[in-house]
Amino acid sequence: MLISYLGHACFAIENQQGKVLVCDPFNESIGYSMKKTKADVVTMSHQHQDHCSQDKLSGKYDIIKTSKKYQGNGFIISSFKSYHDDSKGIKRGKNISFIIECDGVKLCHLGDLGHMLGVKELKLLNEVDIICIPIGGYYTIDYKIVKKLTKKLENKIIIPMHYKTNECKLPIGSLNDYLKTTILHTHKVPNLSITSETIKLLAPGNYVLDIIN
């Protein structure tokens, strides 16, 4: 599993078969310039333009935008339902958090999660290896809730996403806001290349990935 960060909440996940899954592709109106990306599978946590754009995607790809299970192209995908706000979706609607498995590694992309998770969802997260978590607040959970959440998730690799940068036009918090308060050790890396064996060698904590433009 090779994880590359395309910006905002968008990742490209390439498996050992060379197949690529893209999570939450964004529209460039938010400020980022998304690179053209060939995809085999695309997951969309919800239908807002910064999470469901197909403008820069190429190839014949399967789109997963509901909570149905999927198996194909070397990926196994399950999910759980969540909300885009702390009012059960009244403000911003529903959200889907996807659990993606390939090459013996499990990753959860939480999408635009807007609330603290319950016992059932936390149990699911404790069964995965890597968690992509929004940290910017305003539209999603903020660093304060992330701190509470990560306290309940022992020995996990956390990839922060959905935060303010010089390119991003959205009124959300920055990566530094989060890093100043996090209880986890931080590793800055260009990308993550992981197998079922090498995952055992990685120290738990934040893994901040370089944005690929």
Give the CATH superfamily of 2-209: Ribonuclease Z/Hydroxyacylglutathione hydrolase-like (3.60.15.10)
Q: What share of the chain is helix, strand, coil (3-state, %, to 5)?
A: 15, 35, 50
What is the Cα–Cα distance from 145 to 164, expressed in whole angstroms? Answer: 17
List phi, psi (to 5°) of 145.
-70, -35
Q: What confidence score (pLDDT) does residue 161 get? A: 97
Q: What confidence score (pLDDT) does residue 173 get? A: 95
List phi, psi (to 5°) of 179.
-65, -25
Looking at the DSSP bridge assignments, the partners of residue 4 are 12
Q: What confidence score (pLDDT) does residue 153 get? A: 85
Q: What confidence score (pLDDT) does residue 190 get? A: 97
Q: What confidence score (pLDDT) does residue 154 get? A: 72
Q: What confidence score (pLDDT) does residue 152 get? A: 87
Which residues in the chain show pLDDT less than 50?
none
